Chain A
Amino acid sequence: AQRVTQPEKLLSVFKGAPVELKCNYSYSGSPELFWYVQYSRQRLQLLLRHISRESIKGFTADLNKGETSFHLKKPFAQEEDSAMYYCALSGRTGNQFYFGTGTSLTVIP
């Protein structure tokens, strides 16, 4: 079975502080991992994917196959980062996507 676990439903950090949103997964194969974000009153949208190895809006995420984790990190949180973040997984065919329960991030001014 494919599962994505986000242990934190709510996370609050002060502006300028580092932030880490945790994601662990279980998958019998080689998954592709993603982070999706939903800002207030906006659609769910892709933030970044592990195969791109890119930094988007200052966020990075490293796939750790040993720990089966894909944590999202940003060294200095900004107020505009306040949003709902979902970790997601798909198999190599990309036909199905599995999402975690999401973490609501609040950046306190």
Chain B
Amino acid sequence: EADIYQTPRYLVIGTGKKITLECSQTMGHDKMYWYQQDPGMELHLIHYSYGVNSTEKGDLSSESTVSRIRTEHFPLTLESARPSHTSQYLCASSSRLNTGELFFGEGSRLTVL
């Protein structure tokens, strides 16, 4: 079934650790996005990609990095996690043929102690 998957769903980790949040979609979408979601705050775009080998930073300054080596895969990496990185991270994808509809994953809730 076509879907977008995020792992892990929940992660509690200590300061200074390297973490990678995985995002995969089987929808054949060209565009993928990472958003940061905090209660009472707008969803902040932190990274996006138009296709393979294409990545851009969003409006929110982020210490994370992303890669897009395969169309279906868009992992987000934090080299050294800090408590300020504690948040919900949402991955989304969209088709360039149907601009406007973002398909979201279930999210990865990261807690950095």
Contact A96 B100 (CB under 8 A): no
**Contacting chain B: which of A13-21, A39-47, A58-66, A70-78?**
A39-47
Q: Are A90 and B43 in contact (CB under 8 A)?
A: no
Interchain CB contact (< 8 A) of B100 among A86, A90, A102: A90
How many chain B residues touch A (Cβ–Cβ < 8 Å)? Answer: 25
Judged by a CB distance under 8 angstroms, whether B74 is at the interface is: no
Please indicate the chain A residues that have their CB under 8 angstroms from the CB of B50 in the complex. 95
Q: Bits for A71-109, please: 1 = Cβ < 8 Å to B, else 0.
A: 000000000000000100010011111111110000000
Using C-beta atoms within 8 Å of the partner chain, give the interface range for chain A: 20 to 34
Given A45-B104, A101-B40: A96 and B45 within 8 A (CB)?
A: yes
Q: Is B69 an interface residue (CB 8 A)?
A: no
Known: A4-B42, A9-B40, A44-B90. A97 touches B102 (CB 8 A): yes
Which residues on A are within 8 Å of B, measured CB to CB? 4, 9, 32, 34, 36, 43-46, 49, 51, 86, 90, 93-102
Q: With A43-B105, A44-B102, A94-B94 given, can you name 5 additional A-B contacts, CB distance below 8 Å?
A: A46-B101, A49-B100, A51-B100, A90-B100, A99-B42
